[in-house]
């Protein structure tokens, strides 16, 4: 079956990640009549433009998935918990964008460039990682070809679309408030995000970390199949619309060079090295946004640790951080001919 013949459903089509998935399908010329857009009852009946076509949104319900080959869930954990198992029963291959299945040992968590093989043992659902984890594991996977990794310190600079369309609206609205001299109106975030920085992404845990920081550790270990990987993360929201950036310091078991790091990163699918300081070329959210690659630059020796490298990355959190990775999981499952969950070919 040609991939354009697949019936693809998007649950949460009105959100930022769902909307990006639809945009990516249009870029691939996926036929409009092979796309089903689903959302809550509130949005049902609304039309969404898709090239020259309009697609009417239907309500996502427990019997919405008959005839759907691939269902992309981007509507939050509660909806996935309730409807993803129904979609699998009805024959769909589910790709879940949310966090609820990610650490479930029976469900693969996949970045195709890193652990595409894990798709083979899917039980009907494959989970896509958190938007900060995806570029992070790609860079670590490239670099561990040079030497085993001992520890990674990462500080993030995460855009507001990580909180969906509502986060983006809040940044735009508050920026207007502030420029106009009025008080910023709070809704999504507990504090003003316009012209401010919040060292706070997702809920706090009792050890002082946030769930987002914990995800970077746990998801990386699962995707990289390295339970001893040591990661110390600080996740921070910044007043940027699209793309997450990350500052990494990586300690290796043995000596690595900047030259070799550039070589393995340049040769890694989905990574683009942008590293020419003399021309002011380095990754930025604005240049990563709308693109498919994880941009990596500022690659240099770590001045504080033996066998250490420091680098900087930017990645479109809606594309590779979410919707693009989901579609690439679909491509990979199609290529490996494991789309049909009922065949349950290779359960681990």
Residue 157 touching its own copies (CB under 8 A): yes
Q: Cβ distance 206 to 221 under 8 Å?
A: no
Residue 155 touching its own copies (CB under 8 A): yes
Nearer to its own copies (CB atom), residue 135 or residue 341:
135
Q: Cβ distance 171 to 286 under 8 Å?
A: no
Beta strands in 44-84 (DSSP E): 47-50, 53-56, 58-59, 70-73
Residue 209 touching its own copies (CB under 8 A): yes
Q: Which helix (H) or strand (E) segment is 262 a member of?
A: helix 258-266
Structure tokens at 247: 């500052």
For helices 211-224 and 133-143, give the axis angle rounded to 10 degrees: 40
Residue 230 touching its own copies (CB under 8 A): yes
Q: How far is the CB of 220 from its own copies (least distance, A)?
A: 11
Query: How big is the CA angle at 38 (ends 37 and 41), to the nearest 5 degrees?
Result: 140
Residue 290 touching its own copies (CB under 8 A): no
Residue 231 touching its own copies (CB under 8 A): yes
Query: Scanning the structure block, which residue is given the tokens 């339970």?
Result: 227
Q: Could you say which of 21, 60, 142, 299 contacts its own copies (CB under 8 A)?
A: 299
Q: How far is the CB of 91 from its own copies (least distance, A)?
A: 41
Give the interface size with its own copies as a residue count (CB under 8 A). 60
Residue 56 touching its own copies (CB under 8 A): no
Query: How big is the CA angle at 192 (ends 191 and 197), to the nearest 5 degrees?
Result: 90
Binding site for its own copies (CB under 8 A): 151-153, 155, 157, 171-172, 175-176, 179, 190-192, 195-200, 204, 207-210, 217, 230-234, 236, 238-241, 245, 247, 249, 258, 277-278, 280, 282-286, 297-305, 308, 310, 312, 314
């Amino acid at each position: 079956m040609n991939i354009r013949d697949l019936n693809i459903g998007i649950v949460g089509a009105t959100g930022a990640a769902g909307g990006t998935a639809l945009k990516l399908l249009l870029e691939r010329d996926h036929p409009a009549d092979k796309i089903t857009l689903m959302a809550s009852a509130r949005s049902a009946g609304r039309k969404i433009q898709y090239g020259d076509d309009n697609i009417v949104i239907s309500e996502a319900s427990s019997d919405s998935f008959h005839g759907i080959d691939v269902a992309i869930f981007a509507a939050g954990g509660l909806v996935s918990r309730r409807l993803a198992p129904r979609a699998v029963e009805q024959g769909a291959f589910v790709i879940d964008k949310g966090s609820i299945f990610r650490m479930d040992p029976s469900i693969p968590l996949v970045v195709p460039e890193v652990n595409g093989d894990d798709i083979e043992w899917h039980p009907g659902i494959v989970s896509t990682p958190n938007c900060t984890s995806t570029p992070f594991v790609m860079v670590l996977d490239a670099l561990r070809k040079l030497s085993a990794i001992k520890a990674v310190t990462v500080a993030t600079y995460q855009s507001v679309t990580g909180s969906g369309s509502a986060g983006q609206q809040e940044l735009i609205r508050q920026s207007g408030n502030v420029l106009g001299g009025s008080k910023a109106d709070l809704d999504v975030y507990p504090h003003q995000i316009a012209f401010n920085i919040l060292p706070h992404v997702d809920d706090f845990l009792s050890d002082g970390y946030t769930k987002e920081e914990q995800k970077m550790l746990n998801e990386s270990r699962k995707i990289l199949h390295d339970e001893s990987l040591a990661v110390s993360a600080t996740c921070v929201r910044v007043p940027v619309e699209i793309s997450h950036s990350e500052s990494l310091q990586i300690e290796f078991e043995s000596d690595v060079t900047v030259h070799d790091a550039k070589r393995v990163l340049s040769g890694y699918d989905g990574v683009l090295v942008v590293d020419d300081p003399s021309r002011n070329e380095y990754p930025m959210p604005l240049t990563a946004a709308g693109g498919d690659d994880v941009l990596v630059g500022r690659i240099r020796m770590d001045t504080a640790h033996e066998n250490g490298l420091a680098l900087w990355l930017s990645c479109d959190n809606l594309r590779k951080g979410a919707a693009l990775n989901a579609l690439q999981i679909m491509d990979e499952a199609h290529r490996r001919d494991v789309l049909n969950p009922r065949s349950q070919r290779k359960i681990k």
